[in-house]
Amino acid sequence: MLTGNTNEERIWNYLTAAGFNACGVAGLMGNLYAESGLNPQNLQNTYEKKLGYTDAAYTAAVDSGAYTNFAGDKAGYGLAQWTYSTRKAALLAYARAAGKSVGDLETQLAFLVKELRESFAAVYNTLKTAQTVRAASDAVMLKFERPANQSAEALARRAAYGQGYFDKYGKKGAGNKVGYTNSALVAYTKLSPNCNKPRKDKIDTITIHCFVGQVTVERGCEVFQNTARQASCNYVVAKDGKIGLCVEEANRSWCSSSAANDNRAVTIEVASDTVHPYAVTDQAYAALIDLVADICRRNGIGKLVWSTQKADRVNHKNGCNLTVHRDYANKACPGEYLYSRMGDIAAQVNKRLGAADAGQTPATKPQTPEAWAVPFKVRVSAADLNIRTGPGTNTARKGYIKPGVYTIVEVRSGPGASAWGKLKSGAGWISLDFCKKI
173 pLDDT exceeds 50? no
199 pLDDT exceeds 80? yes
Asked if residue 360 is part of any domain, the answer here is no
Same domain assignment for residues 269 and 392: no
Final residue of a structural domain among 144, 170, 196: 170
Mean pLDDT, range 63-91, rounded to an integer: 96
CA dihedral 409, 410, 414, 417 (to 10 degrees): 40
8 pLDDT exceeds 70? yes
Is residue 356 within 8 A of residue 319, CB to CB? The reply is no
Question: How much is the pLDDT for 172?
Answer: 45
Is residue 205 within 8 A of residue 323, CB to CB? The reply is yes
360 pLDDT exceeds 70? no
130 pLDDT exceeds 70? yes
Same domain assignment for residues 201 and 347: yes
Question: How much is the pLDDT for 169?
Answer: 86
42: domain CATH number?
A: 1.10.530.10
Final residue of a structural domain among 353, 377, 402: 353
Same domain assignment for residues 197 and 343: yes
Asked if residue 363 is part of any domain, the answer here is no
The domain of 242 spans: 188-353
Question: How much is the pLDDT for 383?
Answer: 65
Question: How much is the pLDDT for 370?
Answer: 64
Same domain assignment for residues 15 and 64: yes
Asked if residue 177 is part of any domain, the answer here is no
176 pLDDT exceeds 70? no
Query: For residue 180, which of 196, 165, 167 has the smallest C-alpha distance?
Result: 167
397 pLDDT exceeds 80? yes
Mean pLDDT, range 7-18, rounded to an integer: 90
Asked if residue 180 is part of any domain, the answer here is no
Same domain assignment for residues 229 and 349: yes
Final residue of a structural domain among 170, 201, 218: 170
Mean pLDDT, range 395-401, rounded to an integer: 84
| DSSP bridge pairs for 385 | 401
Q: At what angle do helices 105-119 and 85-98 cross, to 10 degrees?
A: 130
Asked if residue 361 is part of any domain, the answer here is no
Tell me the pLDDT band of 198, cut-offs 50, 70 and 90: confident
Share of the chain above pLDDT 70, in %: 93
Same domain assignment for residues 14 and 70: yes
Asked if residue 175 is part of any domain, the answer here is no
Asked if residue 176 is part of any domain, the answer here is no
Tell me the pLDDT band of 416, cut-offs 50, 70 and 90: low
Tell me the pLDDT band of 6, cut-offs 50, 70 and 90: confident
Q: 10 Å Cβ neighbour count for 274? A: 11
Same domain assignment for residues 271 and 313: yes
Question: How much is the pLDDT for 414?
Answer: 73
Question: How much is the pLDDT for 235?
Answer: 97
430: domain CATH number?
A: 2.30.30
Q: What stretch of H or E contains 436?
A: strand 435-437
Between strands 195-196 and 188-189, the pairing is unpaired
Express each pLDDT in 272-318 by its tens digit.
999 988 999 999 999 999 999 989 888 878 899 999 889 899 999 88
Same domain assignment for residues 347 and 380: no
pTM (2 d.p.): 0.49
Question: How much is the pLDDT for 385?
Answer: 80
Same domain assignment for residues 26 and 140: yes
Same domain assignment for residues 128 and 64: yes
Give one word for 210, left, alpha or beta, with left for phi > 0 and alpha for psi -120 to 50. Answer: beta
Same domain assignment for residues 110 and 144: yes
Share of the chain above pLDDT 90, in %: 60
**How is the chain split among helix, strand and coil, in percent rounded to 5?**
40, 15, 45
One-character DSSP codes across 233-254: -SEEE-TTS-EEESS-TTSEES
260: domain CATH number?
A: 3.40.80.10
> Total domain count for the chain?
3
Mean pLDDT, range 16-41, rounded to an integer: 93
Asked if residue 45 is part of any domain, the answer here is yes
Question: How much is the pLDDT for 269?
Answer: 98
Most confident of 106-110, 161-165, 173-177, 408-412: 106-110
196 pLDDT exceeds 90? yes
355 pLDDT exceeds 80? no
- The DSSP letter of residue 405 is E
Q: 10 Å Cβ neighbour count for 296? A: 23
Same domain assignment for residues 243 and 332: yes
